[in-house]
Amino acid sequence: MASSVDGSAARPVVTRFAPSPTGFLHIGNARTGLFSWLYARHHGGKALLRIEDTDKARSTQEAIAVIHEGLAWLGLEFDGEPVYQSQRADRHAEVAYKLLAAGQAYKCFCTPEELTEMREAQRAAKQPIRYNGYWRDRDPSEAPAGAPFVIRIKTPEGGETVIEDAVQGRVKVDNREIDDFILLRADGSPTYMLAVVVDDMDMGCTHIIRGDDHLNNAFRQLQVIKAMQGIEPGWEEPVYAHVPLIHGSDGAKLSKRHGALGVRDYRDMGVLPETLFNYLLRLGWGHGDQEEFSKEEAIALFDIDAVGKGPSRFDMKKLLSMNGNYIRKADDARLAGLIAPLIGPQADVALLTEAMPVLKTRARDLNELASGAAFLFKTRPLNIDEAAAALLDGDGRARLAEISARLHGESDWTIPALEANLKAYAEELGLGLGKLAQPLRAALTGQTTSPGIFDVLALLGREESLARIDAQAGS
């Protein structure tokens, strides 16, 4: 049994992204969703979305909304309406009973106690722990009347299952390693293994792109597909592409100790959507030495054969460095609109837009950008942080009084004129310009970091600048 890339080449490409609502959209899932979406777009096919919401405890409307919100923020628009797995239980059961009627599945009446005894015997004999096929060839009439049962698939007892994986290459398993797994539970509910395959086939998926933690599942899911091929039309084996998982910078599987795990977390950290799109794209896929791609470039260039077999490492420093690059290239008005809510109702978007060329030069994220812009909207008396207060000691205040007198006489409140004025003053005093700029920055912003001091003076304007200086100089 094999799944072949060539065997599906003639079919229009249909991919799917199938996240489970867990309260957040995991960054690793978002990457496989991105790869699925890009592959479909690159080949002119369809990218479908399925919400695997069968876990009723976790699949709340809020959790589902988080998935839709995260995908929209990343700019991934899927084709058609989303499929909700929980609404298809009747169809899943229908397939199980079709397999049963065709002799490709059977009823298993084993009790929990019998299954426990079976496992213990296998463990004692140092055998693999799996169902031993006890009811595979028995007549159901041998079971007690009304006894509960599950439906198990009949897997091949010999040979091997081969997958020509588009990322992993040829992988295979001895069919004796695949037990007769359950399709339908005793309460009539479908197992994950059944539901996923039925949905994939009914949605017409030609390519299944997902994490390589699902590779073992593929061998089982192919058994269902193969068994249904003589029962219903349209059950063609898909092309599988199992993408290596993302690891942390230390090489261990990505977990909470490595930082944020959800797409929303990165948005709240001030990462731009185009940054995360680009960064996830580059985790395991590449095109020469190019680091940054527009969405259009990504669609034009992406193909699954360029995805590496080894796990990629998530590097927060690299992500934030890339984010800084995107911030510097972003439209000023857009950035102003994004950070205004972070500053508060006092924020003036027009002033932020005007100031943005200066503000965005060093910020690595939107929160830093908002923090760096906050001085523009502070009211007097300014809240002076501890580091800035240390600069406003007796000597610092005396120096401010001298600077104030100098600037009160400046009629041309422009960056070149202000710079020439204070540089000349520093030379007169035999000081470096920094000795003037440090207390001046503390008085104007309440902080020790800010844009260039002449930019700060120009953005605040003559009246506000002098009022802030005088308030700290004590004049």
**Cβ contact 163:172 at 8 Å:** yes
Is 450 within 8 Å of 385 (Cβ atoms)? no
User: Do 409 and 336 belong together in one domain?
Assistant: no
pLDDT digits (tens, 9 = 90+) for 255-313: 777 766 899 999 999 999 999 999 999 999 999 999 999 999 999 999 999 999 999 99
Q: How far is Cα 270 from Cα 372, in angstroms, rounded to an integer?
A: 13
Residues 100 and 195 in one domain: yes
C-alpha 18/C-alpha 36 separation (Å) is 10
Helix (H) or strand (E) holding 301: helix 295-301
Mean pLDDT of all residues belonging to the chain: 93
Co-location of 25 and 78 in the same domain: yes
Catalytic residue among 46, 256, 309, 378: 256
Instruction: Note down the domain range covering 367.
Output: 330-377
Indicate whether 224 and 290 sit together in one domain.
Answer: no
Task: Collapse the DSSP code of 10 into the 3-class scheme (helix H, G, I; strand E, B; otherwise coil) and give the result.
Answer: coil
Instruction: Quote the number of domains for the chain.
Output: 4
Say yes or no: 354 and 256 in one domain: no
172 in active site = no
Helix (H) or strand (E) holding 305: none
300 and 429 share a domain? Answer: no
pLDDT band (50, 70, 90) for residue 10 = low
Statement: residue 475 has pLDDT above 60: no
Cα 230 from chain centre: 40
Is residue 77 pLDDT above 70, yes or no? yes
Q: Is the pLDDT of residue 2 over 70?
A: no
Q: Where are the beta strands (DSSP E) in 109-243?
A: 150-153, 160-165, 169-174, 182-184, 207-211, 239-243
In this prediction the pTM is 0.91
Whether residue 162 is predicted with pLDDT greater than 60 in this model: the reply is yes
> Do 159 and 186 have their domain in common?
yes
CA–CA distance from 86 to each of 65, 83, 196, 323 (Å)? Answer: 16, 9, 11, 38
CA 377 to chain centre: 34
- Identify the CATH number of the domain in which residue 395 sits: 1.10.10.350
pLDDT digits (tens, 9 = 90+) for 183-238: 999 999 999 999 999 999 999 999 999 999 999 999 999 999 999 999 999 999 99
Average pLDDT estimate for 154-175: 96
CA separation for the pair 212, 309 (Å, rounded): 10
Residue where a domain stops, chosen among 246, 271, 297? 246
Q: Are residues 119 and 53 part of one domain?
A: yes
